[in-house]
Amino acid sequence: MEQIKLNHYTGEINQEIRITGSKSESNRLLILQQRYPNLKIENLSNSDDSNLMLKALASKEGVINIGHAGTTMRFLTSLLATKEGSDVILTGSGRMKERPIGILVDALRTLGADITYVENDGFAPLRIKGTKLKGGAVRINGNVSSQYISSLLLVAPSLEQGITLTFEGAITSVPYIQMTLGLLNELGIESSFEGQVIRVQPKERIADTLVTVESDWSSASYYYSLVALSESGKISLSAYKEKSLQGDAVLELLYRQFGVKSTFVNNTLTLEKETGFENPSLVEFDLIKAPDIAQTIAVTCFGMGIACNLTGLHTLKIKETDRLVALEQELTKLGADIRVTNESLHLEAATKINKDVVIATYQDHRMAMAFAPLLLKTSILIDEYKVVSKSYPTFWDDFSNFQTN
């Protein structure tokens, strides 16, 4: 197993870093570009997920394997279902075959899609025969992954009747749904989100459009953590918008509780540790709208000796790994007193941090990056560290500034 050792860093934190475009925005725009080839995209993500999306979209093969890329799996399922005359088997890694997709398949079948399960009902691989879907009304549980919902919304403009999507029960991950609708709006596609109903109107053509992808806020979270764990850190990140479509932009608000001040000047986001900041004894966050930053926040709290209660995390059970169990196991190695349920994490304030612990990553890019800022507190080792390429291929290059004193 390949490892990287992060030595305890006690030097200055003062850097300028440019982060790749958001893979969430990039992959949505790449799907839309299939329908509207006069859409031009700048600052496209260089992540594995976006490269896999590009490769899959260009594929002429009868089998498309998307590896660990969950977004690519969900988005391609709907796109291929609407691609008249195609007949493709869509598959992925062993872990991808364990991640449920039945809710999306059922919704597409309601619209007339021809999709069958190759192995196990409710899971990839899928055989998808593309056909002309009229669209219309579909119902879906509100508490499912937003990727299922965005997958439907992205193909909605290409359907004769568009889509009227009605949610049953409470809706989770609303920011990611709003991101999708915001991108549709940028292309001049009419939509509405009122109460439990989303409507997307059909649109045959769009005007020539250039969209610049904002840098990834999830990737910014690791620098928020680094500054929080520092005494007087300052990091400038580009390119970020003060009014962002990304749900993880809530970092700016949440990390105020860790003494991190955020300022925006000309799409540059500067993070700075407040002088004389006193740690709270406990923080409590409902992350139902931004679950992808849970790992970063949990590690920040542990490193700062702050107790935390994090809720709204039920979707973490079906990510690249079961992220709640993974956090419990790896933080426990470091000396944490931690307890998790199926939807929450509860951490007691740490009094010590074990050194030279090997952090397992479970083929999960966010596990590797979330633990890296702890080098300000101790020396650690990260297993399978190259997994970061899934979302942030240059992470270790950018982080190398903090590995020598």
Residue-wise pLDDT for 15-70, tens only, equals: 999 998 999 999 999 999 999 999 999 999 998 889 999 999 999 999 999 998 88
Query: How far is the C-alpha of 310 from the C-alpha of 331, rounded, in Å?
Result: 15
How high is the mean pLDDT of the chain?
A: 94
Cβ-based neighbours of 288, under 8 Å, separated by 6 or more: 172, 173, 311, 312, 313
Residue with tokens 């003060």: 242
Q: Is the fold of 3-20+215-402 the same as that of 23-212?
A: yes
Residue 358 has pLDDT above 90, yes or no: yes
What pLDDT does residue 245 have? Answer: 87
83 or 173, greater pLDDT:
83
pLDDT tens per residue, range 246-290: 989 999 999 999 999 999 998 899 999 999 999 999 999 999 889
Helix, strand, coil distribution of the chain in percent, nearest 5:
40, 25, 40
Residue 173 has pLDDT above 80, yes or no: no
Q: Which residues pair with 354 in a beta bridge?
A: none
Confidence category of residue 405, pLDDT binned at 50, 70, 90: low
Q: Which residues pair with 244 in a beta bridge?
A: none
175 or 320, greater pLDDT:
175
Confidence category of residue 319, pLDDT binned at 50, 70, 90: low
**Residue 292 catalytic?**
yes
**Cα-to-chain-centroid distance, residue 257:** 23
Beta strands in 303-356 (DSSP E): 307-311, 338-340, 345-347
Closest of 56, 161, 143, 152 to residue 106, by C-alpha: 152
Helix (H, G, I), strand (E, B) or coil at 106: helix
pLDDT tens per residue, range 320-355: 668 899 999 999 999 999 999 989 999 999 999 999
Q: Which residues pair with 382 in a beta bridge?
A: 4, 359
Domain ranges of the chain: 3-20+215-402, 23-212
129 or 324, greater pLDDT:
129
Q: Phi and psi dihedrals of 163, rounded to 5? A: -140, 140
Confidence category of residue 103, pLDDT binned at 50, 70, 90: very high
Superfamily of domain 3-20+215-402: Enolpyruvate transferase domain (3.65.10.10)
Confidence category of residue 318, pLDDT binned at 50, 70, 90: low
Q: Name the pairing type of β-strands 126-129 and 114-117.
A: antiparallel
**Cα-to-chain-centroid distance, residue 389:** 13
Confirm whether pTM is higher than 0.75. Answer: yes
The CB-side HSE value for 255 (13 A sphere, CA atoms) comes to 31
Residue % of the chain over a pLDDT of 70: 98
Task: Determine whether domain 23-212 maps to CATH 3.65.10.10.
Answer: yes
Q: Which of 292, 337, 383, 397 is catalytic?
A: 292
pLDDT tens per residue, range 221-239: 999 999 999 999 999 999 8
Q: What is the arithmetic mean of pLDDT over 96-124?
A: 96
